[in-house]
Amino acid sequence: MLKKLAWCVVLVFMFNQNGLAQLPDFTEMVKTNGVAVVNISTTQKAKPEAVEGVPKEIPMPEGMPPEMEELFKHFFNNPNGGGNGAEGDGDEGDTQSLGSGFVIDKSGYVLTNHHVVKGADEIIVKFSDRRELVAKLIGSDVRTDVALLKVDAADLPVVSIGDPSKLQVGEWVLAIGSPFGFEQSVTAGIVSAKGRSLPGGNYVPFIQTDVAINPGNSGGPLFNMDGKVVGINSQIYSRTGGFMGLSFAIPMDVVMNVVSQIKANGKATHGWLGVQIQDVTRELAESFGMKKPQGALVSKVMPDSPAEKAQLQIGDIITEFNGQSIEKSGDLPPMVGITPIKDKATLKIIRQGEEKIINFNIGLLPDQVDKVADSKAEKAKPTNRLGVTVTDLTAEERQSTQVSKGGVLVQNIAKGAAKTAGIQVSDVILRLDNQLVHDVAGFEKMVKNLPVAKSVAVLIQRRGSPAFLALKIEK
């Protein structure tokens, strides 16, 4: 019995020793690279009253313990400071924000996020040796959230730039920054996923990690285990305003592409195809005769765009860009965005069940975005198999919905296939089962001929944005 117990103790000890041996040691990495990480504070002259559209106070998160309320108010609702954890200097009318950054060139180039320095009248870069230098904004890019600064200094400590394409999910990574103003804070975690597409970040294939990132960490570096920067910490997903285990970093290959453009031209440009796209769901894949959901489904082709000139069509499914596979719609925009303007590019598409190759020249992404007013419609009793009532569009409705010809306006929806598919009142139905909808008469005829228990694609326009839905009439 004693012998068995002794063996158990030995095994537990060996297991613990092996487990401890596998845990990373970040101490040398922090010593080497921490000196190149900076604290960034900005000042913006503003009126004492709240900016239009921005609340004077951030609502208290639900369920916050009483002992945390004062801390929350101090960091987020400080009348003299900023919502990023910075305290103000007390000057009436001044607003301050706080973030992080890092030196990429010993002559004084510093990287941070666009949103950290946006609208700043003055940018101060604070080094680990307590030096504070005024920085000049060389240029920034809102679409990738990258900003390049320059301070008047020489022989600064710099970071090494790594290759984010070699990162693997599950790999250890480390962040250094100034969360809530606490300078040189170090946090670590693993890579949770790669190539994440986020709302408003279509041109960045984000690196997702579980590294603790909080307000003030924005613009700071994300290091791999070789001590090289693989990303800029940019965003978190949170329901409370604080860290919840989901952090997102901009890959350094995207960042350095922007940096080289800013250095050369003072700004960055992005490639443009000129389509609105969406994911192919299982039901949509069935309706298009595909074996599995894959690719980017084209729901709109912009006028005078490279896509229109290349005769790309609504309903085309893009499966490859320049030989790179498109598994989901979010894969496409970053690939197009980093391709130089006017370069030749190739798309592989599926059109009505057949593979085709489309060649086009990359265009310049325009700054303007479509803005559409909501359309209004009177309710009427649904009369067809879908449980939906439609009308032809008036001239005013065409102007407000940006539908120049064809289509029918949804007036009312009852329980049925249309409602289950996600069609809503004021949607404009443009296509049904891969056929153009010209008017109410044609639409009603199409509805009568729809198959039962089989998914068909319906293209709708909602608030100016087209989208495909999968519709199925049950038995």
Q: Which residues are catalytic?
A: 115, 145, 218
The rounded Cα 285 to chain-centroid distance in angstroms is 25
Q: How many CB atoms lie under 10 A from the CB of residue 92?
A: 9
Query: Are 457 and 353 contacting, i.e. CB atoms less than 8 angstroms apart?
Result: no
Cβ atoms of 410 and 423 within 8 Å: the answer is yes
Q: What is the 3-state secondary structure (H, E, C) of 156-197?
A: CCCCEECCHHHCCCCCEEEEEECHHHCCCEEEEEEEEEEEEC
Angle at 21 between CA 19 and CA 22, to 5 degrees: 70
Token readout for 33 is 């690279």
Alpha-carbon dihedral 386, 387, 393, 394, rounded to 10 degrees: 170
Asked if residue 149 lies in contact with residue 110, where contact means CB atoms within 8 angstroms, the answer is: yes
- Please give the Cα distance from 104 to 149 (Å, whole number): 10
| CB-facing half-sphere around the CA of 468: CA atoms within 13 A | 31
| Integer CA distances (angstroms), 160 to 126, 164, 251, in order | 20, 12, 14
Of 144, 142, 149, 83, nearest in space to 112 by CA: 149
Q: Which of 330, 412, 86 is nearest to 218 (CA)?
A: 86
Sign of CA dihedral 161, 162, 164, 165: positive
- The number of CA neighbours under 13 Å toward the Cβ of 136 is 9
Strand 109-112, strand 122-126: pairing: unpaired
Q: Is 457 exposed, middle or buried (0-12, 13-18, 19+ CB in 10 A)?
A: buried
